[in-house]
Structure 1
Amino acid sequence: MAVHLKRKHSIDLHEMSEPSKCASANEQPSGYSGSSLRKCSSNPSTTDSVISKPVGQLSIPEAFMSKLAPGSARAKLITRNLALYIATDLRPYSIVENSAFKNFVHCLEPKYSVPSRPTLSEKVMPNLYEEVRQSVQSQLHEAQTIAMTSDGWTSRATESYITITAHFIDSQWILQNKVLQTRAIYECHTGTNIAQVLKSAVDEWKLERPHGLQPLTSDSAANMCVAAKQANMTPHIKCFAHVINLAAQQALKISEVQRLLGRVHIKKDKDLDTLSVTDITTAEYLVHVLEPLKTVTTILCDASQPTISMVLPLLSNLKKNLQVAEGDPNVIRQVKLAVANDLDKRYTEQDIQTLMKQSSAIDPRFKSLPFLDDIERLEVQTSIVSVIDHIDRSCSEHIAVIKTEPGMDKEPRPSSSAPASSPLPDLPSLEAEVPETMSTVTVDQKEAEEPCCKKSALESLFGDVFVVKHTPATKSRMDMIDEELRLYNSLDSLSINSSPLLWWKSNEYRLPYLSKVARHLLCIPATSVPSERVFSTAGDVVTAQRASLNPKNVDILVFLKKNVAV
């Protein structure tokens, strides 16, 4: 239409949309042509256009450029993706007030109106947070065991925060890592106050499980040990990365090592000390001794694979490398002894030792347990049976409680593949299911009800002479567990670079009892690295320009950054 008017009638719609200085409507002739519509009076006092539109009627450009309603599907989709962009890229809320950003959005979708900053912070982002929160809660609800990590940090505004993360293995045997909350703590960082934060997180996210275990991994600070005890977080795993760090610090406290490090430290405007051949040789020995500690720290930073099962094998390997050799210089002897003695003091609690042995035994990479003797291996096998009993018993009690709840009229029928006291993963039925309305009859009954058919020559000759019915021997629950253990131990160990979770995914139905133990133990992280990684993310959120950011918004932004899937 616009092209037609401009080409045939020489009318420019852009000029018509602006107030023109044309003749008044009462002086307009009754007839009109293209030239008369184009020509205006030269009188500057006239303000009415030649063609006036009725009040409330949109012009052609306005009709095609009407704004999207905020509640329309298109507007909601754009707003949600805008929130995702801000959350995943850690953009400030003030970006919606930036004129260049508005022009960019207008170029992409002229009909869309960018939400204001208050709307974004008070409505859009909280709505996205609730959406992602419900998704995380549904995943947590399906988890058999949920392990936690916790650590504290201080923002640029000197506000203290505590971050809590959750770790579990989902139905597809993928190790999930979720950031649950980053809450400001205004009280003193005592064990009692931190315990209240941990209890509140467990209640808010419904992390408690029937088996009663709530694993927690944190640093070895005294307040965290008190908090874990008061919050009934068991087992409490001391961060293995912190253990390695503390052991390395013991090596650096040796006087000869400090003197060597002081000489290689470059000071501004001062001459560099010249190192002797002995110093260079000592430094090379020192790097060789401490390099395994760096390698172990790098291995433990992998959040996609189980790490709790690697603690004892790595400790055994480190202690082997730290054995004093005959040709070691005196300073290297001191370094090895200092690191080894510090490692010997870690993880001495009996329950933690048992947990780590069980985790290594259930990991197909380390199931041979070469760092243990025969008696210890037998004790680990026995303890794994106890873990199976504990998990099954707690699950049975949990099912019994559910049955007594109101509205639960029908009880679930026990599976025919296992005793009712030990629920196994649902296996596909090999036989067609019989509707409840139909009566169950045996094969002999069906044959008796069917009309007699003429027997074949073979049937007339042999009859039932060669028909032998075998009754399958019923196995007790303990026999099934022992059979699984023998089968598991007879299989080849997995290569070190392979994924134990993928192995268990392939063998879950062959080893149903042991797979429960694997899902129960392998989700526990050996370090508090997941919660410490939030520090860098939070540092990008609470920048110097956003030091006054509300703690609630800090929690929302960190949560979305770590959990949202684009």
Structure 2
Amino acid sequence: MPPRVNPVDALSARRSHRNVSAQNYAQMDNPWRRRSRSASPSPAIRPHRERSPLPSSSQETVTPSESATNVSHRIPDIMKKTWEKKSRTGARTKWSPVYEHYESVELIGEVYYKREDKARKTPYADVRRICILCHENGKTTESTDSSRFGSSSNLWTHLKTSHKIYPDGMSAPAPDNFQPNLSSFGVTSKKGADPTATMTLDEAIIEWIIDTQQPFDIVDNEKWKRMWKIALSRSCPINSHQTLRRRIEKEFSNCQFRMYEELKISAETVSLSLDVWKTPNRKYILAVICHWTTEDFEDRQLVIHFGHLRGAHTGENMAKEIHEVLQNFGLEQKLLAICGDNASNNPTLCRNLHRFLKQRFVDSVDKLAIPGNEKKLMFFKGNESFIRCLAHVLNLVAKSMLKVLKAGSHRDTKRIIEQMRADKRETFRIDETPKSAIARLRLIVLWILASEQRVDKYMEHASVSLDYDVDTRWNALLKMLEIAIRERSAINRMCAECKPLEPLALSETEWMFLGETFQVMLPLYEKTLLVSQTAPTIFQSTEIYWDLDDHFDEVIEMQGNWEHVDPQIQEAVRAGRKTLEDYTGKMDAETIIPYAAAVLDPRVKTYLLKAHLKEGAIDVIDHLRAHFNEISPAAAEVTPPPNFPNPTASTLPSTSFVGRSRGLQAPSNRQRMLRDIQAELYSTIAASDIDEVDEWLNSAPIQESVPERMTAEQDVKWLMAWWRANQSRYPRMAKIARRYLSVPASEVGVERLFSRGRDLLGLRRYALQPATIKMLTVLKAFQSNKHWLEAMTDLREEVIDADIDLDIELISK
């Protein structure tokens, strides 16, 4: 019998062109949403897979009525507060400084009423204002308060236009064609100005405030104003929080338009990843990220929505919100798939959204031929287009395993420590001591980390500090296990020297158990990291599911290094595999998208399906063939010969950036000449060519050397570059690849947005409204995207205004 492998020792040793009607941009940030209702998925057959061969308050005087004998009748002060702003009463004590430049002559007996005083309740004495500066120059300029209804705006206008006098904090306006930047304020770099920099100073201030999540009233801070006064010898270009908010709202509007234009031009199909988040101030936020692939096979992602979800947190309500987002961005017909977690409201969302879209579109090519049909074809097919978040599935698998292992929870462990402190005990009671090795290790770690003195004592024996887990992230438990196993000698010494830890000491057998647990769950952690990257991983999702299933089978069947695995770990793996099979079964029955994406890797093609599904692969491949022929039918165009040279990356057209030239079109006579030459020389070859879809599905994977160290991001980039270079050789399959390779396998990106939202809603901004949260989150995501920063440098407001005018003109026609 081969010697048993000690996992603890092993661990220690290891270390397009615009064709969409114009939209109403005023509605894009409309917080008042309309809502609607829901349908059912179409059935599918799951293929059978075989094993792979591979603070204090102020005190107030208590009146008799508020004494202890009447305390039950006392109304809390906060309940008495009306929260209404009191109207200003009494004589006015502060006047506008504009009147310092005018002689005031009261008109006896003359009164007037403010414009908003429709009932004419409050009369004001009329006063004639005579400009002192004009009078000194021999001119007469006067105005009565009644003619201006008491407003001072016209008085300021006269001073600014005639005498160049401005209110505090305001300076003379720059010429119409002038945009202030640091150079215009006399600030230059030692290395000289960047000739490509086009960002103005106020734009840079706004970007900094959004990126660092500063409160709007920072521009009202006196030290902020003093800093700008010292730096530039003048006031800050943005001198009030009202001005800042207006500028941010305008920037958000421009951002919405730019995203709409780019999606209209470069996205043939789009996929969405979404989720709902309950904010700390008890508002529900629906976040939506849009994913697509450009014609140059570049992956694009945009946060298109982060808005308030009003009403019930139901799939039907979410479907109405998503439908409105799709309408605003012109994406109804382009929607291909939706990725969300495994909550029951997400399939309901897809069914309802499919029902809404069917009112304007058809979901099958066959329905286009129905007499009298005027609807266009859409790509979304309800439940068949729903992708279950792979990271969420892996999380459920891990939790089902930890439940069998009786791992306990961070919350329960913390409660035990707090109870011991409250009882002023120095040891844990027997009934408090967990039986599970994982739970005991957690109790040891939390007890050590609860005191700085204990941590210092532990660090006398260890080289790495301990880390505790959190209930919401199972992989934090794995990190705790890894560090603890590495520093187990230090933990053993702490258990021997500290009396409270004596009953918690772990035996060598239990350390062995922890090591096996770590190694069994490590593949789950690695695959979670893989699907959590920003690049698309849908083409790898089938491989991930099957590889994990093979790993579980090895443990259950005690093969390889798992010949002497602990029976409890075996039972946990069985529970994990059951959870995995439950969700893979649901996905197989719902959608073909993961299989379609898997065969689009030229290094794999159908090999993976055939190796795992055996005879069942034939039905899946036939299903894929029919699906590919439906979404990318054979055209009557001439197909280039097999040896037709592929374009290199340098010869490809530039990425479709908004506001940039899209290249000059070749003259029509040259296009005809090139087509005639191809038709004359290669028509026979084209006629005898095998069908492109059949060729792809029947051929072997390409021969390609695989680097020894290739990151997941490099893997995705290689795949996109291959299709970019070979799209002229495989035009139909390239169209399919462009559609499916951008489909997200997880909604981890949405979870990152929620983390930003938690940072945004700090103690100082706890009452931030959902509309403001949406504005700041979308802008921060937009500005942090390097692609957009480069693409938008030459897009100015006049370009946007011209496009809006053009859209309005088209609508009016």
Q: Is the 8 A contact 1:147 1:216 kept in 2?
A: yes
Deviations 1:211-259 (A, max 9, x none): xx53111111112221222112441111111111111111111155552
Q: Does 1:231 align with 2:461?
A: no
- Matched pairs, number: 454
Superposed displacement of residue 67, structure 1: 4.1
Partner of 2:583: 346
Q: Is the 8 A contact 2:400 2:579 kept in 1?
A: yes
Deviations 1:121-156 (A, max 9, x none): 542011111222222112211212100011111222
User: Where in structure 2 are the equivalents of 1:211-250 lying within 5 Å?
Assistant: 214-232=336-354, 233=382, 234-250=384-400
Q: Is the 8 A contact 2:385 2:591 kept in 1?
A: no
Classify the secondary structure of the residue corresponding to 2:289: strand
Partner of 1:523: 742
Partner of 2:262: 139
Q: Does 1:73 align with 2:73?
A: no
Q: Is the 8 A contact 1:167 1:523 kept in 2?
A: yes
Residue ranges of structure 2 left out of the alignment (5+ in a row): 1-135, 139-158, 165-169, 182-199, 355-381, 409-435, 451-498, 641-646, 654-665, 790-813
Partner of 1:261: 438
Partner of 1:193: 317
Q: Is the 8 A contact 2:296 2:652 kept in 1?
A: no
Classify the secondary structure of the residue corresponding to 1:128: helix
For 2:681 and 2:759, the matched residues in 1 are separated by 70
Classify the secondary structure of the residue corresponding to 2:288: strand
Classify the secondary structure of the residue corresponding to 1:172: coil
Partner of 2:565: 328
Partner of 2:331: 207
For 1:188 and 1:109, the matched residues in 2 are separated by 52
Deviations 1:249-286 (A, max 9, x none): 11111155552222112354881211112211111110
For 1:173 and 1:284, the matched residues in 2 are separated by 43
Q: Is the 8 A contact 2:303 2:782 kept in 1?
A: yes
Partner of 1:151: 275
Partner of 1:7: none
Superposed displacement of residue 488, structure 1: 6.4
Partner of 1:83: 206
Q: Which one has a bigger Cα radius of gyration?
A: 1
Deviations 1:471-530 (A, max 9, x none): 841635983415752796352257364331122122222221111111111111111111
Superposed displacement of residue 71, structure 1: 5.7
Q: Is the 8 A contact 2:318 2:349 kept in 1?
A: yes
Partner of 2:527: 296
Superposed displacement of residue 379, structure 1: 4.2
User: Where in structure 2 are the equivalents of 1:108-127 lying within 5 Å?
Assistant: 108-111=231-234, 113-127=236-250
Deviations 1:385-437 (A, max 9, x none): 333333346x99xxxxxxxxxxxxxxxxx96669xxxxxx9999xx985289x
Partner of 2:629: 389
Partner of 1:311: 541
For 1:510 and 1:345, the matched residues in 2 are separated by 40
Superposed displacement of residue 178, structure 1: 0.8
What is the identity, as a one-letter code, of the residue corresponding to 1:359? A
* Residues 494 and 364 (structure 1), Cα distance of their counterparts in 2 relative to 1, 3 Å cut: farther
Superposed displacement of residue 70, structure 1: 8.8
Q: Is the 8 A contact 1:309 1:359 kept in 2?
A: yes
TM-score w.r.t. the length of structure 1 is 0.71
User: Where in structure 2 are the equivalents of 1:352-501 lying within 5 Å?
Assistant: 352=590, 354-367=592-605, 368-369=607-608, 371-392=611-632, 433-434=668-669, 472-473=683-684, 475-476=686-687, 479-482=690-693, 484-485=695-696, 489-493=700-704, 495=706, 497=711, 498=715, 499=717, 500-501=719-720
Q: Is the 8 A contact 2:625 2:694 kept in 1?
A: no
Q: Given the alignment, which residue of 491, 501, 505 partners 1:274?
A: 505
Partner of 2:70: none
Q: Is the 8 A contact 1:67 1:113 kept in 2?
A: no
For 2:339 and 2:681, the matched residues in 1 are separated by 53
* Residues 66 and 432 (structure 1), Cα distance of their counterparts in 2 relative to 1, 3 Å cut: closer
What is the identity, as a one-letter code, of the residue corresponding to 2:500? D
What is the identity, as a one-letter code, of the residue corresponding to 1:303? T
Superposed displacement of residue 89, structure 1: 2.4
Superposed displacement of residue 91, structure 1: 2.0
Q: Given the alignment, which residue of 395, 401, 407 partners 1:251?
A: 401
Classify the secondary structure of the residue corresponding to 1:135: helix
Partner of 1:507: 726
Classify the secondary structure of the residue corresponding to 1:340: helix
Partner of 1:43: none
Superposed displacement of residue 68, structure 1: 4.4
For 1:415 and 1:163, the matched residues in 2 are separated by 42
Classify the secondary structure of the residue corresponding to 2:595: helix
Greater CA deviation, 477-486 or 185-194? 477-486
For 1:194 and 1:166, the matched residues in 2 are separated by 16
* Residues 470 and 392 (structure 1), Cα distance of their counterparts in 2 relative to 1, 3 Å cut: closer
For 1:114 and 1:184, the matched residues in 2 are separated by 32
Superposed displacement of residue 364, structure 1: 3.1
* Residues 329 and 511 (structure 1), Cα distance of their counterparts in 2 relative to 1, 3 Å cut: same
Residue ranges of structure 1 left out of the alignment (5+ in a row): 1-52, 60-64, 397-413, 419-424, 444-468
Q: Is the 8 A contact 1:143 1:170 kept in 2?
A: yes
Partner of 1:25: none
Q: Is the 8 A contact 1:164 1:179 kept in 2?
A: yes
What is the identity, as a one-letter code, of the residue corresponding to 2:250? N
Q: Given the alignment, which residue of 216, 225, 231 partners 1:102?
A: 225
Partner of 2:454: none
For 1:372 and 1:320, the matched residues in 2 are separated by 10
* Residues 124 and 346 (structure 1), Cα distance of their counterparts in 2 relative to 1, 3 Å cut: same
Q: CA RMSD in A?
A: 3.7
* Residues 470 and 150 (structure 1), Cα distance of their counterparts in 2 relative to 1, 3 Å cut: closer
Deviations 1:332-378 (A, max 9, x none): 21122111111111122445453211111102353231643454544
For 1:72 and 1:100, the matched residues in 2 are separated by 31
For 2:681 and 2:271, the matched residues in 1 are separated by 47
Deviations 1:432-466 (A, max 9, x none): 85289x999x99xxxxxxxxxxxxxxxxxxxxxxx
For 1:223 and 1:530, the matched residues in 2 are separated by 20
What is the identity, as a one-letter code, of the residue corresponding to 2:352? Q
Q: Is the 8 A contact 1:147 1:523 kept in 2?
A: yes
For 2:287 and 2:687, the matched residues in 1 are separated by 46
For 2:589 and 2:405, the matched residues in 1 are separated by 37
Q: Given the alignment, which residue of 251, 268, 271 partners 1:128?
A: 251
What is the identity, as a one-letter code, of the residue corresponding to 1:248? A
Deviations 1:177-227 (A, max 9, x none): 1111111123121222112112111212221236xx531111111122212
Partner of 1:550: 769
Partner of 1:405: none
Classify the secondary structure of the residue corresponding to 1:177: strand
Q: Given the alignment, which residue of 160, 165, 169 partners 2:289?
A: 165
Greater CA deviation, 250-259 or 191-200? 250-259
Superposed displacement of residue 97, structure 1: 1.2
